[in-house]
Amino acid sequence: MAGKIKITLVRGLAGKPEVVRRNLQTLGLSRRQSSVVRDDDPATRGILRRVEHMVKVEELEG
């Protein structure tokens, strides 16, 4: 079973390309300092690779 990860948006969206905005919207992040908990799966990791400069990722235990 896959674990969980907490994703926090640490950079604002102003001036960012539409592709980056869409990737963050797919993750459920729309405002700076907003956080979501998602399953740690390959699809989520693929999106995170594209926006890694804007988010903080924490692995959750349990």
- Please report, for the chain, the start and end positions of each structural domain, with discontinuous segments joined by +: 4-60
**For position 2, what pLDDT does the model report?**
73
DSSP 22-39: HHHHHHT--STT-EEEEE
Write out pLDDT tens, residues 16-58: 999 999 999 999 999 999 999 999 999 999 999 999 999 999 9
**What does the DSSP assignment read for 1-62?**
---EEEEEE-S--TT--HHHHHHHHHHT--STT-EEEEE--HHHHHHHHHSTTTEEEEEEP-
* pLDDT at 12 exceeding the cut of 60: yes
**pLDDT category of residue 61 using cuts at 50, 70 and 90:** confident
- Taking the whole predicted model, whether its pTM rises above 0.85 is answered as yes
**Which of the four pLDDT bands, split at 50, 70 and 90, describes residue 1?**
very low
Assigned CATH topology for domain 4-60: Ribosomal Protein L30; Chain: A, (3.30.1390)
